[in-house]
Amino acid sequence: LLPVLAIVGRPNVGKSALVNRILGRREAVVEDVPGVTRDRVSYPAEWAGRRFTLVDTGGWEPDARGIDASVADQAEIAVELCDAVLFVVDSRVGPTATDERVVQLLRRTDRPVFLVANKVDDAAQEPAAAVLWSLGLGEPRPVSALHGRGVADLLDDVLKAL
Ligand code: GDP
Ligand code: MG
């Protein structure tokens, strides 16, 4: 059985864009409208000659309990079934209440968690990523899923943990 890498985070942070960047093709649906990815979608992936399963999450309809609860539910299911977690945050927005909710959940897992500061498209955005140290999940890893910046370094470290 291949190791499973789950990508969690609230809608619109760029989870599907990161999936496509890792796969090297446009397979996951990237949308300006939050919530397009349906439930969990698994993709066979390979990096540096190692194969693993990549799980994209989404599909939460804001229900009666609100978006925070449904994002947390999705993240919880994904964390249960994976070997390592990429927690994606939008560095241009900074940590939100929904992000904090996922952080609570991730603090309880014994799986390795990588804090991904997405949308760092250039060096000028790096300080925005550093703000995410405040989440208490260790070093924020600045990446641009859209342009590929930082993704190779991140994946090299993730594979060591898988
Ligand atoms: P998801 O809901 O978390 O799966 O987010 P998507 O992958 O669908 O992306 C949401 C929006 O953020 C889309 O408009 C993307 O083009 C945009 N986006 C994703 N990654 C980046 C990035 O690295 N930089 C910038 N500037 N925009 C991004
Ligand atoms: Mg998505």
Query: Is 41 touching ligand 1 by the criterion CB < 6 Å?
Result: no
The 10s digit of each residue's pLDDT in 102-118 is 999 899 999 999 999 99
Residues 6+ apart with CB under 8 A from 125: 91, 92, 119, 142
Measured from the Cβ of residue 19, the count of other Cβ atoms closer than 10 Å reads 27
- The whole-number pLDDT of residue 95 equals 94
Domain regions of the chain by residue span = 4-161
Per the rule left: phi > 0, alpha: psi between -120 and 50, beta: everything else, 48 is: left
Does an H or E element contain 86, and which? strand 84-90
Domain 4-161 CATH (choose: 2.60.120.10, 3.40.640.10, 3.40.50.300, 3.40.50.720): 3.40.50.300
The 10s digit of each residue's pLDDT in 65-97 is 677 777 777 788 888 999 999 999 999 999 999
Question: What is the maximum span of the chain, computed from C-alpha positions, in angstroms?
Answer: 44
pTM comes to 0.92
Of 34, 92, 90, 80, nearest to 55 by C-alpha is 80
**What is the atom index within ligand 1 of the atom nearest the CA of 36?**
2
Query: Is 91 touching ligand 1 by the criterion CB < 6 Å?
Result: no
Query: Is 11 touching ligand 1 by the criterion CB < 6 Å?
Result: yes
Please compute the mean of the pLDDT values over residues 153-158 and round it to a whole number: 97
